[in-house]
Amino acid sequence: MIDYLPTLQFSPEKCTDCKICELTCSASKEQGFNRHLARLQIERIDIDRVILRSCQLCTHPACVAACPWHAVELAGGLHVVVIDPDDCVGCRRCVEACPHHALVMPAGRRVPVVCDYCAGRPACVEVCPTGALTYGSLQAQSD
């Protein structure tokens, strides 16, 4: 059976690297404008290439497998990776294990952050002025 999960989709050819998505994400989740606290990152690779770093909802998430304390879980009903701050010891194993560089350990924090798709209404998608970010179904990633 092939699973189709809603996830962020990115059209790099439409992206102007304006960072509005990152600022909106941090404002939504952290109540402040700080790109380093955003749950997604737009990274400029060279003058004409940008990439999205965000959770891709792997079928068997390496971040979940890497956590020996079971603080990182795939919340099946929600279709998001969640981190329990009470169980997380800040070892960064989940951050290092993620092949998509989707988990971020903000400076001064003990617990990493990861995109939860804003309960199905990603704020970043709503504010993207060029339509480079969309949210919808995509075949589940195997890794």
Task: Please state, in angstroms and rounded to a whole number, the distance separating the CA atoms of residues 36 and 42.
Answer: 11
- State what percent of residues in the chain have pLDDT above 70: 91
Position 2 scores a pLDDT of 44
Looking at the structure, give the CATH architecture of the domain made up of residues 4-139. 2-Layer Sandwich (3.30)
Position 20 scores a pLDDT of 98
pLDDT tens digits, residue range 79-113? 789 999 999 999 999 999 999 999 999 999 999 99
Residue 65 makes CB contacts below 8 A (sequence gap 6+) with 97
Task: Please state, in angstroms and rounded to a whole number, the distance separating the CA atoms of residues 63 and 1.
Answer: 23
Sequence ranges of the domains in the chain: 4-139
pLDDT at 25 over 80: yes
Strands 49-53 and 41-46: antiparallel
Position 51 scores a pLDDT of 96
pLDDT tens digits, residue range 28-50? 999 999 999 999 999 999 998 99
Name which of 2, 8, 47 is nearest 135 in CA terms: 8
Residues across the chain: 143
